[in-house]
Structure 1
Amino acid sequence: MLNARSVLVTGSNRGIGLELIRQLVGKSNRPEWVFATCRDPEGPRAQDLKNLAAKHQGVKILQMDTSDPSSIKAAATKVTEKLQGIGLNLLINNAAIVRPGTLESETAEDMAEVYKTNLIGSMLVTQAFLPLLRKSCQESPQKGMSCSKAAIVNMSSEAGSITNLLAWKLGHVINYRCSKAALNMLTRCQALGFAEDKILSIALHPGWVQTDMGNTAVKAPLPVDASVGAILSTLGRLTEKDSGTFVNWEGAAIPW
């Protein structure tokens, strides 16, 4: 069972990110601190998140654009101040973008932009919050690894599975697929690199979810609340044997 004292979710103003915040604060053993980051907290697209935060103490909305290193550092400084000496248990790198296109129409600009958010952004966010994740490990009496202790969850996609290439016939989206395949490699490297710190690192496919992003070609099959409910249940079951793996919302292994 997930029992994290502090959680940070990037890209939390809509879709999966917003639903993660909603379900986290609705838990009976909800985290004391829930940090919700998005690019434009004052904009109209963040209104649902602001309404949610107004009803729940301990939800802190922070400006963070994962394609802007200075905003990542500023957010990390604020989270460190709010936590007042305690660590961060769970970092969910959820922020992602996609640009439409085919194999023939893909551009260098779109590829670079998507990589900057989906891959490089996730890497920089993890680097910025690594001291807080390490602090959680040092403070925790728990043995082994868990998402309640210290974990990095990189929201990936089966669209980036080199074996499966989910929904290829519905959309090539080369920039998105390549960025998620690269994110999977980053996850493997983080699992190896942070093993001695006892920080769990995992790549997670949330399913093909009914969100603004998921509904582009046809209506996605999985409701967002069902996806997120299963994700939180899965995160509560992960142990050190799962670190460095690629799983779906229900915890089933996905081939790289």
Structure 2
Amino acid sequence: MWSSMAGVCARSALVTGANRGIGLGFVQHLLALPNPPEVVFAACRDPKGQRAQELQKLASKHRSLVIVPLEVTDPASIKAAAASVGEHLKGSGLNLLINNAALLKVNTLDTETLKDMSEVYTTNTVGPLLLSQALLPLLKKAAQGSPGSGLSCSKAAIVNISSTGGSISSLTGWDVIELVSYRCSKAALNMLTRCQSMGYREHGILCVALHPGWVQTDMGSAGGHTAPLTVDASVAGMLKVLSSLSKKDTGTFLDWEGNVVAW
């Protein structure tokens, strides 16, 4: 029997942007759980490239880790990834989708451009929408295959990695860094999470937006400032939060410690 201490006990999980930063952290932590998933899909743009070396090393040690090429801005790539994941699962569903892949451009209100705004929005907001659509049949299958009528991350869940940067009411850190396109994309991702929670509740799929904290990653130090939180601490915190979620939490915006973040 799984104890609540063991955290999330999904049979299968998929993480996007899995070659570095928080995505890689999720993959490492999922594989190290007392009851790890039977399969962890690590999706990234260029699995054979220089920036995926850590992931390749992990895959050589863990047979349960499957690296999936995925460009979240390309519908054909999403379709191919979903088909490949479906084949690997051999008829069982996907329990946990972590939409983590994201893009950040250090632009101000004055320097923001159509090109950057579009790229950031396509990666950070449209990507999670399209990937969730493509994987919906597998998420539904996982929900149907789990006993009970409640919602949980062990049953079927979409986790959108958001940011307090997307909080409209608090506008955290504006005086430090404006990040207009990033903020807009994350505010939109939060609305997508709400929409998904409404649309997928009937299918037994929990949807949540998570703020990972200000984390020491390439993205976290984009503005030249040092982030206070390690990837390890952030991911361990988020997995603990995910393990505690139930029906009442679907459609919420929480941080890595489980606190509610203002929209």
TM class by smaller structure: over 0.9
- 1:117-154: CA deviation from partner (whole Å, max 9, x where unpaired): 00001100000000000001111113300000000000
Partner of 1:195 in structure 2?
Answer: 201
SS at match of 2:178: coil
| 1:164 to partner: Cα distance | 1.3
Partner of 2:135 in structure 1?
Answer: 129
Partner of 2:210 in structure 1?
Answer: 204
Amino acid at match of 2:227: A
| 1:57 to partner: Cα distance | 1.4
Partner of 1:171 in structure 2?
Answer: 177
Choose which of 87, 109, 112 in structure 2 pairs with 1:81: 87
Amino acid at match of 1:243: T
Choose which of 238, 242, 257 in structure 2 pairs with 1:235: 242
| 1:211 to partner: Cα distance | 0.3
Q: TM-score, normalised by structure 1?
A: 0.99
Amino acid at match of 1:248: D
SS at match of 1:182: helix
Asked if the contact 1:142–1:149 (Cα under 8 Å) also holds between the matched residues in 2, the reply is no
Partner Cα separation in structure 1 for residue 86 and residue 107 of structure 2: 40
Partner of 1:139 in structure 2?
Answer: 145
Identity of aligned residues (%): 57
**CA RMSD of the aligned region, Å?**
0.7
Q: Once structures 1 and 2 are overlaid, which stretch shifts more, 4-13 or 53-62?
A: 53-62
Partner Cα separation in structure 2 for residue 251 and residue 94 of structure 1: 18
Partner Cα separation in structure 2 for residue 68 and residue 204 of structure 1: 24
Choose which of 232, 237, 256 in structure 2 pairs with 1:249: 256
Q: Runs of 4+ in structure 1 displaced over 6 angstroms?
A: none
| 1:185 to partner: Cα distance | 0.3
Asked if the contact 2:108–2:180 (Cα under 8 Å) also holds between the matched residues in 1, the reply is yes
Aligned length: 256
Partner of 1:3 in structure 2?
Answer: 9
The answer to whether structure 1 residue 158 and structure 2 residue 164 are counterparts is: yes
Partner of 2:53 in structure 1?
Answer: 47
Amino acid at match of 2:246: T
Asked if the contact 1:76–1:128 (Cα under 8 Å) also holds between the matched residues in 2, the reply is yes
SS at match of 1:103: coil
Choose which of 110, 120, 125 in structure 2 pairs with 1:119: 125
SS at match of 2:130: helix
Partner Cα separation in structure 2 for residue 35 and residue 142 of structure 1: 26
| 1:251 to partner: Cα distance | 1.0
SS at match of 2:258: coil
Partner Cα separation in structure 2 for residue 12 and residue 64 of structure 1: 10
Amino acid at match of 2:220: G
Q: TM-score, normalised by structure 2?
A: 0.96
- 1:168-214: CA deviation from partner (whole Å, max 9, x where unpaired): 11211101000000000000000001111110000000000000000
Asked if the contact 2:17–2:45 (Cα under 8 Å) also holds between the matched residues in 1, the reply is yes
Asked if the contact 2:106–2:222 (Cα under 8 Å) also holds between the matched residues in 1, the reply is no
Asked if the contact 2:29–2:236 (Cα under 8 Å) also holds between the matched residues in 1, the reply is yes
Partner Cα separation in structure 2 for residue 57 and residue 251 of structure 1: 32
Partner Cα separation in structure 2 for residue 91 and residue 2 of structure 1: 12
Partner of 1:221 in structure 2?
Answer: 228
Asked if the contact 1:150–1:198 (Cα under 8 Å) also holds between the matched residues in 2, the reply is yes
The answer to whether structure 1 residue 64 and structure 2 residue 59 are counterparts is: no
Amino acid at match of 2:83: T
Partner Cα separation in structure 2 for residue 216 and residue 176 of structure 1: 12
SS at match of 2:41: strand
Partner Cα separation in structure 2 for residue 175 and residue 211 of structure 1: 19
| 1:88 to partner: Cα distance | 0.3
Partner of 1:109 in structure 2?
Answer: 115
